[in-house]
Structure 1
Amino acid sequence: MRVLHFFKTYWPDTFGGVERTIHAIAKGTEKHGICSEVLSLSRSPDTNTMLFDGHMAYKAKLDFELASTGFSCDVFRHFRELSKEADIIHFHFPWPLMDIVNLATRHGKPTIVTYHSDIVKQKTLLKFYQPLMFRFLGGMDRIVATSSNYLRSSEVLRAFSSKTRVIPLGLSEGDYPVVAEETRVRWSSRLPKRFFLFIGVLRYYKGVHVLLEAARQTGLDVVLIGNGPLEDELKGKVRQQNLSNVHFLGALPDEDKVAILDLSLGLVFPSHLRSEAFGLSLVEAAMRAKPMISCEIGTGTSFVNLDGETGLVIPPNDATALSQAMTRLWNDHQMALSYGSNARRRYETNFTAEQMAQSYMELYREVASSR
């Protein structure tokens, strides 16, 4: 069976949460006889079209971007050609151009869409896009929500609940390198003895401004891995307030990230807006048996991190609540260990890439046989 994944970006141009999910599905379902291909946009389509970890990553030329949406004239031709060879088209929402391509090409193939997030920031543009969005989602054979929390809290998903399935995102330990002893020693000597860790792109919905205020209130050491649009602004705030306990490391390779995660007391994940639909960094922390602190925003973050079981869940955008949660874990070593052990068990039960791939394989077969 051939499956064509379609999303606005993919490796090697970017490799964020959605891209990692596409990769995990493609790699995991290959073991079950699924041949996956991925089509996305790129400013260097010829150079960046390549074989990636067992599947082809095709690129169409990115012409311009508007409101976080990539546009391309070339993508219609590429999609039409690739969809002819596919048994199933697997879309990854949101990306408005994808809706247009789907309608314009009239490919007639069975369709699945993984609904990664509501559209949160572009409220004005959403009013104009909504008719197309509902037509696109209404035409899908199946819709996949990444958590039961998101299915319940999304007004859009509730309108299509009868054909929506929940398949949690998953990660494979095998996709992460074994940490060399010299890497562990290097970071152990460079970082504070005890610290909380943040992992993620520095975007508007990540709540890092709240984390910085909590670091100011508590004086506890906080290490941040990742870069992004707000990096300069956040670093400026740290300099202005002279927060010597806040340490920005930038984007790092996976081996370094895993080494630092292992050294940390736990993961702080202060995302405060629904743009954070799941939080793969939480799954990474659970995989390494680390306790977590996250916010209740009605999305998958509270599906991964269960309050009082795998960590602490606090109100969003509340620096005082975050300070108190960090202090509790800092002062109660046994609680932190217990939450971490529970998180590891929850990862093994719910969030492995193998489980996710198995669920998608079954859904592919169901959709293909229903046509």
Structure 2
Amino acid sequence: MTDSPAVARATGGVAPLAPGENGLLDVGAGDGPLPDDEAAYVGASKAPATVAAYRSDWAEFGDWCTREGHRQLPAPPAAVSGYLTTLARAGAKVSTMSRRMAAIRFFHGLGDLPDPTSPARVAAVWEGIRRKHGAPPDQADPLMPPHLFDLVAATATTRSFRTRPDEPDLAGARDRALLLIGFFSALRCSELCALTVDDVLPHDRGRTLVVPRSKTNQRGDQAELVILPYATHPEACPVRALDTWLELAGVTDGPVLRRVSTGNRATPGGLHRASVHRRITALVSAAGLDQLPKKPNYSPHSLRAGFVTWAHLRGASDREIAAQTRHRSLASVGGYVRVATAWDKNAATDLGL
């Protein structure tokens, strides 16, 4: 039930954003609908992925309120606590429920309405859910040598056709660039997908990558720099893989990493997180790593995690690692390597027993 004027244009039925759209266009304030240009700036205040998630979460909450006979805006605390209880019983992750609470707070805040997630009733239900259902996040395994090079070796090199001569496989060339750039640069997946040709600067020791915006620099106040060095071995060199891909694909501007058509041609559109995840999963299978007794849990984040872990095992300090990863907190760097180094210099291994 969304009969409040605080949210205009059918807030309860907000559709997810179309790809590339970045605006909370259905949001209004307590004194009426926001003009489209103002609403667009509201949308730009959040990352595109956050905007899409909030809209989807708000629509889900609206559907639940309609079914249960609650008012969505302003929502009573009983609606929020009941909604959280329903989600918890259905097995929703704590992180998912936390984000949905954030969406509810956000839309109420835009309407200058009280936060329905803050009353003691909701806080008590939420604390109970976290205690009973909370679990450590499902962390991706770090992707580093030798498995990194197993995946590189599993990429296709030649594409055969019935009506024309064999050609270098563009998807394979792109995947090699994806893996090696992702590992050496330690870019976040969103940054890797957003990388453009103009962001790649020449350097006598490799390439310098410009990151205009990032998770910790969302407004783009100052571009961040990441290095992409030459590697000693050609097959492991990210610069060689990058140059080979760009040359074969004929890419001179726009996104660096792109989709490849069935006809072995690079398309104008860039990759996104889901497509990167699919490529890594496919290469894990092609390399036979999914047949290991313990199948590795690799995701797009595994490349960044792999860089941190491998650099640490090679003796790099947390500060040196953070110079590449751009972590603001050195404690965040340590979190990546805790599992890999749990046995290092641990008194439990030297008890004389």
TM value normalised by structure 1? 0.31
Q: Which has the higher strand share?
A: 1
